[in-house]
Structure 1
Protein backbone atom coordinates (compact mmCIF):
# COMPACT_ATOMS: atom_id res chain seq x y z
CA UNK A 1 0.00 0.00 0.00
CA UNK A 2 1.97 3.03 -1.23
CA UNK A 3 2.37 6.07 1.03
CA UNK A 4 2.47 9.37 -0.87
CA UNK A 5 4.48 10.96 1.92
CA UNK A 6 7.41 8.64 1.22
CA UNK A 7 9.42 8.32 -2.00
CA UNK A 8 8.52 5.48 -4.33
CA UNK A 9 10.47 2.23 -4.40
CA UNK A 10 11.93 3.26 -7.78
CA UNK A 11 13.18 6.52 -6.29
CA UNK A 12 14.73 4.83 -3.25
CA UNK A 13 16.48 2.08 -5.24
CA UNK A 14 17.99 2.92 -8.61
CA UNK A 15 19.38 0.25 -10.90
CA UNK A 16 21.49 0.40 -14.03
CA UNK A 17 23.70 -1.98 -15.94
CA UNK A 18 26.49 -1.67 -18.46
CA UNK A 19 26.26 -4.51 -21.03
CA UNK A 20 29.81 -3.74 -22.15
CA UNK A 21 31.43 -4.33 -18.75
CA UNK A 22 28.64 -6.60 -17.47
CA UNK A 23 28.62 -4.62 -14.21
CA UNK A 24 25.29 -3.59 -12.70
CA UNK A 25 24.98 -0.93 -10.02
CA UNK A 26 22.23 -0.80 -7.43
CA UNK A 27 22.09 2.55 -5.65
CA UNK A 28 20.23 3.31 -2.43
CA UNK A 29 19.09 6.90 -2.81
CA UNK A 30 17.31 8.18 0.28
CA UNK A 31 20.09 10.02 2.14
CA UNK A 32 17.72 12.24 4.13
CA UNK A 33 16.46 9.06 5.87
CA UNK A 34 19.84 7.29 6.03
CA UNK A 35 18.86 5.31 2.91
CA UNK A 36 16.09 3.50 4.79
CA UNK A 37 14.20 1.17 2.42
CA UNK A 38 10.43 1.07 2.72
CA UNK A 39 8.56 -2.23 2.50
CA UNK A 40 7.99 -1.59 -1.21
CA UNK A 41 11.66 -0.77 -1.73
CA UNK A 42 12.69 -4.04 -0.10
CA UNK A 43 10.43 -5.94 -2.49
CA UNK A 44 12.04 -4.03 -5.36
CA UNK A 45 15.49 -4.94 -4.00
CA UNK A 46 14.61 -8.64 -4.03
CA UNK A 47 13.12 -8.38 -7.53
CA UNK A 48 16.15 -6.53 -8.92
CA UNK A 49 18.52 -9.17 -7.53
CA UNK A 50 16.39 -11.87 -9.12
CA UNK A 51 16.53 -10.08 -12.48
CA UNK A 52 20.30 -9.54 -12.23
CA UNK A 53 20.75 -13.18 -11.30
CA UNK A 54 19.07 -14.24 -14.56
CA UNK A 55 20.43 -11.47 -16.80
CA UNK A 56 23.30 -12.66 -19.00
CA UNK A 57 24.42 -9.04 -19.38
CA UNK A 58 25.28 -8.92 -15.65
CA UNK A 59 28.02 -10.85 -13.92
CA UNK A 60 28.97 -8.37 -11.16
CA UNK A 61 26.60 -6.37 -8.97
CA UNK A 62 27.84 -3.33 -7.05
CA UNK A 63 25.64 -2.00 -4.24
CA UNK A 64 26.22 1.49 -2.90
CA UNK A 65 24.47 4.28 -1.06
CA UNK A 66 24.09 8.01 -1.64
CA UNK A 67 25.18 10.37 1.13
CA UNK A 68 27.54 9.95 4.06
CA UNK A 69 26.17 6.56 5.16
CA UNK A 70 25.32 3.25 3.59
CA UNK A 71 22.33 3.17 5.93
CA UNK A 72 20.98 2.41 9.39
CA UNK A 73 18.25 -0.05 8.53
CA UNK A 74 14.71 -0.22 7.22
CA UNK A 75 12.05 2.45 7.76
CA UNK A 76 10.96 1.61 11.32
CA UNK A 77 8.42 4.43 11.37
CA UNK A 78 6.65 2.85 8.41
CA UNK A 79 6.75 -0.53 10.13
CA UNK A 80 5.08 0.90 13.24
CA UNK A 81 2.42 2.53 11.08
CA UNK A 82 1.78 -0.78 9.30
CA UNK A 83 1.14 -2.58 12.59
CA UNK A 84 -1.08 0.24 13.85
CA UNK A 85 -3.18 0.42 10.66
CA UNK A 86 -6.90 -0.37 11.01
CA UNK A 87 -6.70 -3.04 8.32
CA UNK A 88 -4.14 -5.70 7.38
CA UNK A 89 -3.58 -4.14 3.97
CA UNK A 90 -0.15 -2.66 4.73
CA UNK A 91 1.07 -5.89 6.33
CA UNK A 92 -0.11 -7.91 3.35
CA UNK A 93 1.58 -5.51 0.94
CA UNK A 94 4.93 -6.22 2.58
CA UNK A 95 4.37 -9.86 1.61
CA UNK A 96 3.60 -8.92 -1.99
CA UNK A 97 -0.15 -9.40 -1.42
CA UNK A 98 -3.17 -7.14 -1.08
CA UNK A 99 -6.61 -7.31 0.47
CA UNK A 100 -8.17 -8.28 -2.87
CA UNK A 101 -6.21 -11.55 -2.87
CA UNK A 102 -8.67 -13.08 -0.38
CA UNK A 103 -5.90 -13.68 2.17
CA UNK A 104 -6.59 -13.10 5.88
CA UNK A 105 -3.56 -11.95 7.86
CA UNK A 106 -3.08 -13.80 11.19
CA UNK A 107 -4.68 -11.90 14.10
CA UNK A 108 -2.66 -9.87 16.58
CA UNK A 109 -1.62 -11.87 19.61
CA UNK A 110 -1.26 -15.08 17.65
CA UNK A 111 2.04 -16.82 17.07
CA UNK A 112 1.70 -16.48 13.31
CA UNK A 113 1.17 -12.73 13.54
CA UNK A 114 4.86 -12.40 14.41
CA UNK A 115 6.00 -15.60 12.76
CA UNK A 116 4.73 -14.69 9.30
CA UNK A 117 7.06 -11.71 8.70
CA UNK A 118 9.91 -13.54 10.47
CA UNK A 119 9.71 -16.37 7.95
CA UNK A 120 9.22 -13.94 5.07
CA UNK A 121 12.36 -11.94 5.88
CA UNK A 122 14.44 -15.07 5.27
CA UNK A 123 12.85 -15.47 1.83
CA UNK A 124 14.89 -14.07 -1.12
CA UNK A 125 11.81 -12.29 -2.44
CA UNK A 126 11.46 -10.26 0.76
CA UNK A 127 14.52 -8.20 -0.07
CA UNK A 128 16.28 -8.74 3.26
CA UNK A 129 18.62 -11.69 2.80
CA UNK A 130 18.37 -11.82 -1.00
CA UNK A 131 22.14 -11.64 -1.51
CA UNK A 132 22.48 -15.05 0.11
CA UNK A 133 20.78 -16.54 -2.94
CA UNK A 134 22.51 -14.36 -5.53
CA UNK A 135 24.67 -16.59 -7.75
CA UNK A 136 26.92 -13.91 -9.23
CA UNK A 137 29.59 -11.68 -7.74
CA UNK A 138 28.26 -9.03 -5.36
CA UNK A 139 30.30 -6.12 -4.04
CA UNK A 140 29.11 -3.79 -1.29
CA UNK A 141 30.53 -0.33 -0.64
CA UNK A 142 30.19 0.65 3.01
CA UNK A 143 30.60 4.08 4.56
CA UNK A 144 29.35 5.72 7.73
CA UNK A 145 26.58 3.80 9.46
CA UNK A 146 25.95 0.20 8.44
CA UNK A 147 23.19 -1.07 10.72
CA UNK A 148 20.08 -3.21 10.54
CA UNK A 149 18.92 -4.05 7.02
CA UNK A 150 22.14 -2.62 5.61
CA UNK A 151 24.15 -4.84 7.95
CA UNK A 152 22.35 -7.83 6.37
CA UNK A 153 23.73 -6.79 2.99
CA UNK A 154 27.26 -6.43 4.37
CA UNK A 155 27.03 -9.89 5.90
CA UNK A 156 25.73 -11.49 2.71
CA UNK A 157 27.76 -9.79 -0.06
CA UNK A 158 30.74 -11.63 -1.53
CA UNK A 159 33.13 -8.70 -1.23
CA UNK A 160 32.78 -5.82 1.24
CA UNK A 161 34.92 -2.71 0.93
CA UNK A 162 34.54 -0.20 3.74
CA UNK A 163 35.61 3.38 4.31
CA UNK A 164 37.57 3.95 7.49
CA UNK A 165 34.73 5.85 9.19
CA UNK A 166 32.16 3.03 9.02
CA UNK A 167 30.35 1.61 12.06
CA UNK A 168 28.62 -1.77 12.05
CA UNK A 169 25.90 -3.41 14.11
CA UNK A 170 22.28 -4.36 14.41
CA UNK A 171 20.18 -2.33 16.87
CA UNK A 172 17.38 -4.91 17.00
CA UNK A 173 19.56 -6.99 19.31
CA UNK A 174 18.47 -4.47 21.95
CA UNK A 175 14.71 -4.75 21.50
CA UNK A 176 14.00 -7.88 19.44
CA UNK A 177 16.93 -10.16 20.17
CA UNK A 178 17.09 -11.96 16.85
CA UNK A 179 17.32 -11.49 13.11
CA UNK A 180 16.64 -13.86 10.17
CA UNK A 181 19.47 -16.33 9.56
CA UNK A 182 21.53 -14.67 12.27
CA UNK A 183 23.79 -17.70 12.53
CA UNK A 184 25.48 -16.74 9.26
CA UNK A 185 26.92 -13.66 10.97
CA UNK A 186 28.58 -15.87 13.57
CA UNK A 187 30.14 -17.83 10.72
CA UNK A 188 31.51 -14.69 9.09
CA UNK A 189 32.71 -12.83 12.20
CA UNK A 190 33.60 -15.74 14.41
CA UNK A 191 31.55 -16.77 17.44
CA UNK A 192 33.42 -14.73 20.06
CA UNK A 193 33.19 -11.41 18.23
CA UNK A 194 29.61 -12.02 17.25
CA UNK A 195 28.68 -12.74 20.87
CA UNK A 196 30.35 -9.47 21.85
CA UNK A 197 28.30 -7.56 19.27
CA UNK A 198 25.03 -9.18 20.38
CA UNK A 199 25.57 -8.99 24.15
CA UNK A 200 27.04 -5.50 24.35
CA UNK A 201 25.00 -3.91 21.56
CA UNK A 202 27.89 -1.59 20.81
CA UNK A 203 28.89 -0.62 17.25
CA UNK A 204 32.03 -2.14 15.80
CA UNK A 205 34.46 0.02 13.84
CA UNK A 206 35.65 -0.80 10.36
CA UNK A 207 39.05 -1.79 11.73
CA UNK A 208 37.46 -4.25 14.17
CA UNK A 209 35.32 -5.76 11.44
CA UNK A 210 38.35 -6.14 9.19
CA UNK A 211 40.31 -7.89 11.93
CA UNK A 212 37.54 -10.47 12.41
CA UNK A 213 37.38 -11.17 8.64
CA UNK A 214 34.03 -9.47 8.04
CA UNK A 215 35.56 -7.00 5.56
CA UNK A 216 37.89 -7.48 2.61
CA UNK A 217 39.45 -4.02 2.83
CA UNK A 218 39.28 -0.79 4.78
CA UNK A 219 40.23 2.24 2.74
CA UNK A 220 40.25 5.99 3.31
CA UNK A 221 37.41 8.02 1.90
CA UNK A 222 35.91 6.65 -1.32
CA UNK A 223 39.03 5.22 -2.92
CA UNK A 224 37.37 1.77 -3.08
CA UNK A 225 35.58 2.79 -6.28
CA UNK A 226 38.86 3.14 -8.16
CA UNK A 227 39.94 -0.27 -6.97
CA UNK A 228 36.92 -2.33 -8.00
CA UNK A 229 35.72 -0.54 -11.12
CA UNK A 230 39.07 -1.24 -12.77
CA UNK A 231 38.98 -4.97 -12.01
CA UNK A 232 38.37 -7.51 -14.77
CA UNK A 233 35.87 -10.01 -13.37
CA UNK A 234 35.80 -13.67 -14.41
CA UNK A 235 32.53 -15.28 -15.35
CA UNK A 236 30.93 -17.11 -12.41
CA UNK A 237 31.62 -20.81 -12.55
CA UNK A 238 28.68 -23.18 -13.13
CA UNK A 239 27.31 -24.44 -9.84
CA UNK A 240 28.89 -21.61 -7.89
CA UNK A 241 27.73 -21.79 -4.25
CA UNK A 242 25.45 -19.11 -2.84
CA UNK A 243 28.12 -17.94 -0.45
CA UNK A 244 31.24 -16.93 -2.34
CA UNK A 245 34.03 -19.44 -1.75
CA UNK A 246 36.69 -16.93 -2.73
CA UNK A 247 36.50 -14.83 0.44
CA UNK A 248 39.83 -13.58 1.63
CA UNK A 249 41.98 -16.23 3.26
CA UNK A 250 44.18 -14.81 5.96
CA UNK A 251 46.82 -16.04 8.33
CA UNK A 252 48.81 -14.82 11.30
CA UNK A 253 52.56 -14.61 11.02
CA UNK A 254 54.89 -15.30 13.92
CA UNK A 255 54.68 -11.67 15.06
CA UNK A 256 50.84 -11.68 14.82
CA UNK A 257 50.87 -9.32 11.83
CA UNK A 258 47.97 -9.92 9.51
CA UNK A 259 48.78 -11.44 6.15
CA UNK A 260 46.19 -11.64 3.40
CA UNK A 261 46.08 -13.10 -0.09
CA UNK A 262 43.95 -10.11 -1.17
CA UNK A 263 46.65 -7.66 -0.03
CA UNK A 264 44.02 -5.14 1.08
CA UNK A 265 44.74 -1.52 1.80
CA UNK A 266 46.10 -1.04 5.29
CA UNK A 267 43.22 -0.57 7.71
CA UNK A 268 43.18 2.74 9.48
CA UNK A 269 41.45 3.58 12.72
CA UNK A 270 38.09 5.29 12.57
CA UNK A 271 37.89 9.00 13.25
CA UNK A 272 34.12 8.81 13.66
CA UNK A 273 32.68 8.75 17.15
CA UNK A 274 31.39 5.29 17.99
CA UNK A 275 27.71 5.77 18.64
CA UNK A 276 24.31 4.82 17.27
CA UNK A 277 22.42 7.21 15.02
CA UNK A 278 20.06 9.72 16.58
CA UNK A 279 16.26 9.69 16.85
CA UNK A 280 15.83 8.97 13.15
CA UNK A 281 17.57 5.60 13.52
CA UNK A 282 15.85 2.71 11.83
CA UNK A 283 16.25 -1.01 12.04
Structure 2
Protein backbone atom coordinates (compact mmCIF):
# COMPACT_ATOMS: atom_id res chain seq x y z
CA UNK A 1 0.00 0.00 0.00
CA UNK A 2 1.27 3.47 -0.91
CA UNK A 3 0.74 5.69 2.13
CA UNK A 4 -0.89 9.11 1.85
CA UNK A 5 -1.43 10.11 5.48
CA UNK A 6 1.32 8.34 7.40
CA UNK A 7 5.04 7.78 6.99
CA UNK A 8 6.60 4.38 7.66
CA UNK A 9 10.32 3.99 8.26
CA UNK A 10 12.55 1.25 9.65
CA UNK A 11 15.84 2.10 11.35
CA UNK A 12 17.60 -1.01 12.57
CA UNK A 13 15.24 -2.90 14.85
CA UNK A 14 12.72 -0.05 15.22
CA UNK A 15 9.83 0.73 12.87
CA UNK A 16 8.36 4.22 13.20
CA UNK A 17 4.83 5.04 12.07
CA UNK A 18 4.33 8.81 11.84
CA UNK A 19 0.86 10.28 11.41
CA UNK A 20 1.46 12.75 8.62
CA UNK A 21 -1.14 15.46 8.10
CA UNK A 22 0.79 18.19 9.93
CA UNK A 23 -1.22 21.03 8.36
CA UNK A 24 -4.29 19.58 10.11
CA UNK A 25 -2.53 18.53 13.33
CA UNK A 26 -2.68 14.97 11.95
CA UNK A 27 -6.48 14.84 12.21
CA UNK A 28 -7.69 11.27 11.82
CA UNK A 29 -9.49 9.89 8.77
CA UNK A 30 -10.46 6.37 7.75
CA UNK A 31 -7.64 6.46 5.20
CA UNK A 32 -5.18 7.11 8.03
CA UNK A 33 -6.67 4.27 10.05
CA UNK A 34 -6.33 1.84 7.15
CA UNK A 35 -2.74 2.91 6.61
CA UNK A 36 -1.86 2.46 10.30
CA UNK A 37 -3.37 -1.03 10.13
CA UNK A 38 -1.32 -1.90 7.06
CA UNK A 39 1.91 -0.49 8.51
CA UNK A 40 1.53 -2.54 11.69
CA UNK A 41 1.04 -5.67 9.59
CA UNK A 42 4.16 -4.75 7.60
CA UNK A 43 6.19 -4.35 10.79
CA UNK A 44 4.90 -7.63 12.17
CA UNK A 45 5.88 -9.46 8.98
CA UNK A 46 9.48 -8.18 9.20
CA UNK A 47 11.57 -10.26 11.60
CA UNK A 48 14.20 -7.51 11.65
CA UNK A 49 11.70 -5.19 13.36
CA UNK A 50 11.58 -5.70 17.11
CA UNK A 51 9.42 -2.75 18.20
CA UNK A 52 7.07 -0.17 16.72
CA UNK A 53 6.99 3.54 17.60
CA UNK A 54 3.85 5.57 16.81
CA UNK A 55 4.14 9.36 16.71
CA UNK A 56 2.93 12.46 14.87
CA UNK A 57 4.48 14.89 12.41
CA UNK A 58 4.86 18.54 13.33
CA UNK A 59 3.57 20.03 16.57
CA UNK A 60 0.62 17.69 17.08
CA UNK A 61 0.14 14.00 17.67
CA UNK A 62 -3.46 13.79 16.46
CA UNK A 63 -6.08 16.49 16.98
CA UNK A 64 -8.90 13.95 16.80
CA UNK A 65 -11.25 13.14 13.98
CA UNK A 66 -11.23 15.30 10.87
CA UNK A 67 -14.32 17.50 11.29
CA UNK A 68 -13.75 19.66 8.24
CA UNK A 69 -17.08 18.41 6.90
CA UNK A 70 -18.98 19.48 10.02
CA UNK A 71 -21.31 17.04 11.75
CA UNK A 72 -21.49 14.97 8.55
CA UNK A 73 -17.87 13.99 9.21
CA UNK A 74 -19.12 11.31 11.60
CA UNK A 75 -21.69 9.77 9.26
CA UNK A 76 -21.16 6.41 7.61
CA UNK A 77 -19.99 8.15 4.43
CA UNK A 78 -17.84 10.74 6.23
CA UNK A 79 -14.03 10.84 6.17
CA UNK A 80 -13.71 9.18 9.56
CA UNK A 81 -15.45 5.98 8.49
CA UNK A 82 -15.38 5.77 4.68
CA UNK A 83 -12.05 4.98 3.06
CA UNK A 84 -12.35 4.64 -0.74
CA UNK A 85 -10.52 1.54 -1.99
CA UNK A 86 -9.57 0.73 1.62
CA UNK A 87 -12.21 -1.60 3.06
CA UNK A 88 -12.48 -1.91 6.82
CA UNK A 89 -10.74 -5.05 8.01
CA UNK A 90 -12.32 -6.37 11.19
CA UNK A 91 -11.26 -4.24 14.14
CA UNK A 92 -8.99 -2.05 12.02
CA UNK A 93 -6.07 -0.32 13.73
CA UNK A 94 -7.38 -1.32 17.18
CA UNK A 95 -7.21 -5.00 16.29
CA UNK A 96 -3.87 -4.55 14.56
CA UNK A 97 -2.32 -2.92 17.64
CA UNK A 98 -3.93 -5.35 20.07
CA UNK A 99 -2.91 -8.45 18.10
CA UNK A 100 0.59 -7.18 17.30
CA UNK A 101 3.44 -9.59 17.92
CA UNK A 102 5.77 -6.62 18.31
CA UNK A 103 5.63 -4.21 21.29
CA UNK A 104 4.24 -0.76 20.49
CA UNK A 105 5.28 2.58 21.95
CA UNK A 106 3.22 5.75 21.49
CA UNK A 107 5.29 8.95 21.58
CA UNK A 108 2.60 11.60 22.10
CA UNK A 109 4.33 14.71 20.82
CA UNK A 110 1.48 17.24 21.06
CA UNK A 111 -2.32 17.57 21.16
CA UNK A 112 -4.04 14.18 21.33
CA UNK A 113 -7.80 14.37 21.73
CA UNK A 114 -10.70 12.08 20.86
CA UNK A 115 -9.50 9.34 18.56
CA UNK A 116 -6.11 11.04 18.77
CA UNK A 117 -5.71 9.64 22.27
CA UNK A 118 -7.85 6.49 22.01
CA UNK A 119 -5.72 5.16 19.17
CA UNK A 120 -2.78 5.05 21.60
CA UNK A 121 -4.59 2.97 24.22
CA UNK A 122 -3.86 -0.44 22.63
CA UNK A 123 -0.16 0.49 22.62
CA UNK A 124 1.97 -1.15 25.28
CA UNK A 125 3.82 1.98 26.38
CA UNK A 126 2.81 5.66 26.18
CA UNK A 127 5.17 8.56 26.78
CA UNK A 128 4.35 12.23 26.20
CA UNK A 129 5.91 15.58 25.48
CA UNK A 130 5.37 18.19 28.17
CA UNK A 131 3.49 20.17 25.51
CA UNK A 132 0.89 17.44 25.00
CA UNK A 133 -2.77 18.19 25.63
CA UNK A 134 -5.06 15.20 26.02
CA UNK A 135 -8.82 14.86 26.11
CA UNK A 136 -11.51 12.20 25.96
CA UNK A 137 -13.88 14.83 24.56
CA UNK A 138 -16.63 12.60 23.16
CA UNK A 139 -19.45 13.65 25.49
CA UNK A 140 -18.77 17.30 24.59
CA UNK A 141 -19.45 16.43 20.95
CA UNK A 142 -22.51 14.27 21.62
CA UNK A 143 -20.56 11.08 20.95
CA UNK A 144 -19.44 8.06 22.96
CA UNK A 145 -15.87 6.82 23.50
CA UNK A 146 -14.81 4.80 20.44
CA UNK A 147 -11.98 2.55 19.29
CA UNK A 148 -12.65 0.21 22.21
CA UNK A 149 -11.58 2.92 24.65
CA UNK A 150 -14.35 2.19 27.17
CA UNK A 151 -12.55 -1.14 27.68
CA UNK A 152 -8.92 -0.05 27.25
CA UNK A 153 -8.97 3.08 29.40
CA UNK A 154 -10.24 1.47 32.65
CA UNK A 155 -7.76 -1.38 32.09
CA UNK A 156 -4.94 1.15 32.03
CA UNK A 157 -5.90 3.78 34.60
CA UNK A 158 -8.75 2.22 36.61
CA UNK A 159 -12.47 2.87 36.40
CA UNK A 160 -12.62 5.95 38.67
CA UNK A 161 -10.00 7.84 36.65
CA UNK A 162 -11.53 6.74 33.34
CA UNK A 163 -14.94 8.00 34.47
CA UNK A 164 -13.49 11.30 35.64
CA UNK A 165 -11.87 12.03 32.28
CA UNK A 166 -14.67 10.70 30.05
CA UNK A 167 -17.60 12.23 31.93
CA UNK A 168 -16.06 15.69 32.02
CA UNK A 169 -14.73 15.56 28.47
CA UNK A 170 -12.18 18.21 29.39
CA UNK A 171 -8.69 18.60 27.97
CA UNK A 172 -5.81 18.13 30.42
CA UNK A 173 -2.05 18.38 30.34
CA UNK A 174 0.73 15.80 30.27
CA UNK A 175 1.41 16.15 34.00
CA UNK A 176 -2.15 15.04 34.79
CA UNK A 177 -1.82 12.17 32.30
CA UNK A 178 1.32 11.06 34.13
CA UNK A 179 -0.29 11.35 37.57
CA UNK A 180 -3.31 9.39 36.33
CA UNK A 181 -1.21 6.57 34.90
CA UNK A 182 -2.06 7.17 31.24
CA UNK A 183 1.58 7.85 30.30
CA UNK A 184 4.70 6.55 32.00
CA UNK A 185 7.05 9.47 31.24
CA UNK A 186 6.83 13.16 30.32
CA UNK A 187 9.77 14.68 28.45
CA UNK A 188 10.83 17.83 26.67
CA UNK A 189 9.67 17.84 23.04
CA UNK A 190 13.09 17.24 21.51
CA UNK A 191 13.79 14.38 23.94
CA UNK A 192 10.55 12.49 23.25
CA UNK A 193 11.32 10.54 20.08
CA UNK A 194 14.89 9.66 21.12
CA UNK A 195 13.48 8.29 24.37
CA UNK A 196 10.84 6.23 22.53
CA UNK A 197 13.55 4.78 20.31
CA UNK A 198 15.76 4.07 23.32
CA UNK A 199 12.93 2.10 24.95
CA UNK A 200 12.42 0.18 21.71
CA UNK A 201 16.16 -0.50 21.40
CA UNK A 202 16.36 -1.79 24.96
CA UNK A 203 13.69 -4.35 24.08
CA UNK A 204 15.52 -5.27 20.88
CA UNK A 205 18.90 -5.67 22.61
CA UNK A 206 17.90 -7.70 25.65
CA UNK A 207 14.76 -9.75 24.99
CA UNK A 208 13.69 -12.71 22.85
CA UNK A 209 11.19 -11.92 20.06
CA UNK A 210 9.09 -15.03 20.68
CA UNK A 211 8.98 -14.35 24.42
CA UNK A 212 7.86 -10.76 23.83
CA UNK A 213 5.11 -11.79 21.40
CA UNK A 214 3.72 -14.28 23.92
CA UNK A 215 4.16 -12.02 26.94
CA UNK A 216 2.28 -8.99 25.56
CA UNK A 217 -0.65 -11.18 24.49
CA UNK A 218 -0.80 -12.94 27.86
CA UNK A 219 -0.78 -9.64 29.74
CA UNK A 220 -3.40 -7.95 27.55
CA UNK A 221 -5.74 -10.91 27.26
CA UNK A 222 -5.69 -12.04 30.89
CA UNK A 223 -5.30 -8.77 32.80
CA UNK A 224 -9.06 -8.50 33.26
CA UNK A 225 -9.74 -12.20 33.84
CA UNK A 226 -11.65 -12.85 37.07
CA UNK A 227 -9.52 -15.90 37.96
CA UNK A 228 -6.00 -17.09 37.02
CA UNK A 229 -6.92 -20.61 35.94
CA UNK A 230 -7.43 -19.99 32.21
CA UNK A 231 -4.04 -18.27 32.19
CA UNK A 232 -2.42 -21.18 34.02
CA UNK A 233 -3.65 -23.47 31.24
CA UNK A 234 -1.69 -21.31 28.78
CA UNK A 235 1.44 -20.14 30.58
CA UNK A 236 2.47 -23.56 31.90
CA UNK A 237 2.66 -25.29 28.49
CA UNK A 238 4.40 -22.28 26.94
CA UNK A 239 6.97 -22.18 29.75
CA UNK A 240 7.72 -25.86 29.21
CA UNK A 241 8.00 -25.56 25.43
CA UNK A 242 10.21 -22.50 25.56
CA UNK A 243 12.24 -24.00 28.40
CA UNK A 244 13.29 -26.89 26.16
CA UNK A 245 14.17 -24.59 23.26
CA UNK A 246 17.18 -22.67 21.94
CA UNK A 247 16.09 -19.23 23.16
CA UNK A 248 16.26 -20.30 26.79
CA UNK A 249 19.62 -21.97 26.26
CA UNK A 250 20.93 -18.75 24.73
CA UNK A 251 19.37 -16.54 27.43
CA UNK A 252 20.93 -18.57 30.24
CA UNK A 253 24.31 -18.77 28.51
CA UNK A 254 24.35 -15.00 27.88
CA UNK A 255 23.53 -14.36 31.53
CA UNK A 256 26.26 -16.68 32.81
CA UNK A 257 28.81 -15.36 30.33
CA UNK A 258 27.86 -11.74 31.05
CA UNK A 259 27.24 -10.85 27.40
CA UNK A 260 24.36 -9.61 25.28
CA UNK A 261 22.07 -12.42 24.08
CA UNK A 262 21.60 -13.37 20.44
CA UNK A 263 18.25 -15.14 20.53
CA UNK A 264 17.75 -17.41 17.49
CA UNK A 265 13.94 -17.66 17.68
CA UNK A 266 11.89 -15.79 15.07
CA UNK A 267 8.21 -14.91 15.20
CA UNK A 268 7.67 -15.93 11.58
CA UNK A 269 8.83 -19.51 12.13
CA UNK A 270 9.28 -20.35 15.80
CA UNK A 271 6.11 -19.52 17.73
CA UNK A 272 5.34 -22.50 19.99
CA UNK A 273 2.50 -24.93 19.49
CA UNK A 274 -0.69 -23.51 20.97
CA UNK A 275 -0.18 -19.96 19.70
CA UNK A 276 -2.50 -18.24 19.11
CA UNK A 277 -4.65 -19.80 21.82
CA UNK A 278 -7.62 -17.41 21.46
Coarse TM-score class (shorter-chain normalised):
0.5 to 0.7
Q: Return the TM-score normalized by structure 2.
A: 0.66
Q: Aligned equivalents of 2:82 and 2:166: distance in 1?
A: 30
- CA deviation digits over 1:91-136, x for unaligned, max 9? 6646944xxxxxxxxxxxxxxxxxxxxxx69x44x22453222221
Q: Aligned equivalents of 2:105 and 2:29: distance in 1?
A: 22
How many residues in Structure 1 have an aligned counterpart in Structure 2?
Answer: 210
Gaps of 5+ in 1: 1-7, 98-119, 246-283
Selected match of 2:208 from 231, 235, 238: 235
SS in 2 for 1:17: strand
SS in 2 for 1:155: coil
Aligned 1:29-178 pairs, distance under 5 A: 29-77=20-68, 80=72, 83=75, 93=83, 96-97=86-87, 123-124=90-91, 126-128=92-94, 130-174=96-140, 175-178=142-145
SS in 2 for 1:52: helix
- CA deviation digits over 1:109-166, x for unaligned, max 9? xxxxxxxxxxx69x44x22453222221111111221112221232221111111121
SS in 2 for 1:154: coil
Q: Aligned equivalents of 2:180 and 2:15: distance in 1?
A: 29
SS in 1 for 2:62: coil
Q: Aligned equivalents of 1:92 and 1:154: distance in 2?
A: 21
Measured at CA, do residues 92 and 151 of structure 1 come closer, stay the same or move farther in structure 2, by a change above 3 Å?
closer
Aligned 1:250-269 pairs, distance under 5 A: none
- CA deviation digits over 1:155-197, x for unaligned, max 9? 2211111111211122223211232421210121121111111
Aligned residue number for residue 204 of structure 1: 172
Task: Name the structure with the higher helix share.
Answer: 2
Measured at CA, do residues 170 and 243 of structure 1 come closer, stay the same or move farther in structure 2, by a change above 3 Å?
farther
Q: Aligned equivalents of 2:112 and 2:82: distance in 1?
A: 28
